[in-house]
Amino acid sequence: MLPFLKILAKNIAKGPATEPFPFGETVTPKRLRGRAQLDPARCLACGICSHVCAGGAITLTDTPDGSGMEFRLWHNTCTFCGLCEHYCPAGAIVMTNDWHMAHKQADKYSYCEVQFVEYPLCEECGKHMHPHLQNRLSKGLVGAVKAAQILRTCPECRRRITALQHVKGTAFTTTDRSST
């Protein structure tokens, strides 16, 4: 009689063949690149993420008072390529598997993640200083000043400390060439 009624009855008995979303949770693959997320505590403020961002979604702006940097990620512009995560030397940016980014049309110009990355304070003078890159941590000693002390001081204080140690004779050892 009507062959489509047999097919319809079979499909109703079998149940849905698709995901239950939006009425239930859906399966998200482990390697899905969703929304990018910044950990401000790990950020070195090097700017590599904004440089490699294919969509130009990441902007870094120094605050007027010099106390830190504003990290702004526009989710509408992000292409989810993962270059920011790949090139971040400190691992501060991670691609989450959160892909729920539906929003109202009225919110399209405010749909961004804003984080504040605070610059550390100099141990000598107390001013905010730009964070140093991770590769400087592995250099060990510079003269007689330990690298850890160098990383906790601003460039002006670092110059002053190194000059004082050089004047005292502790920065470098010199050989007496007059006897040769």
Number of domains in the chain: 2
Q: Could you tell me if 48 and 114 lie in one domain?
A: yes
In a domain, 7, yes or no: no
Q: Could you tell me if 53 and 103 lie in one domain?
A: yes
In a domain, 1, yes or no: no
Instruction: Look at residues 119, 138, 155 and tell me which one is the last residue of a structural domain.
Output: 119
Upstream peptide bond of 29 is cis (omega within 30 degrees of 0): no
Q: What angle do CA 9, 10, 14 make, to 5 degrees?
A: 120
Sheet strands side by side (includes 68-74): 58-62, 68-74, 112-118
The three-state secondary structure class of 87 is helix
pLDDT band at 152; cut points 50, 70, 90 = confident
Mean pLDDT comparison of 10-19, 48-57, 141-150, highest-scoring range: 48-57
Q: Could you tell me if 77 and 133 lie in one domain?
A: no
Q: Could you tell me if 42 and 94 lie in one domain?
A: yes
Q: Could you tell me if 88 and 155 lie in one domain?
A: no
Q: Find the largest Cα–Cα distance for the chain.
A: 117
Render pLDDT for 154-179 as a digit per residue (tens, 0 to 9): 888 888 888 888 887 754 444 444 44
77 close to 57: Cβ distance less than 8 angstroms: yes
Q: Could you tell me if 56 and 105 lie in one domain?
A: yes
How far is Cα 66 from Cα 86, in angstroms, rounded to an integer? 28
pLDDT band at 138; cut points 50, 70, 90 = very low
Q: Could you tell me if 95 and 165 lie in one domain?
A: no
Render pLDDT for 89-117 as a digit per residue (tens, 0 to 9): 889 999 998 877 777 888 877 888 899 99
Q: Could you tell me if 111 and 135 lie in one domain?
A: no
Q: Could you tell me if 54 and 71 lie in one domain?
A: yes
In a domain, 5, yes or no: no
Please name the amino acid found at residue 165.
Q
Q: Which helix (H) or strand (E) holds 71?
A: strand 68-74
In a domain, 23, yes or no: no
CA atoms within 13 A on the CB side of 84: 34
How far is Cα 79 from Cα 59, in angstroms, rounded to an integer? 15
Angstrom distances, CA of residue 99 to CA of 102, 120, 162 = 9, 34, 51
In a domain, 161, yes or no: yes
- Give the β-pairing of 145-146 and 141-142: antiparallel
* Mean pLDDT value across residues 73-79: 90
In a domain, 20, yes or no: no
Q: What is the pTM of this model?
A: 0.66
**Domain encompassing residue 163:** 120-171
In a domain, 26, yes or no: no
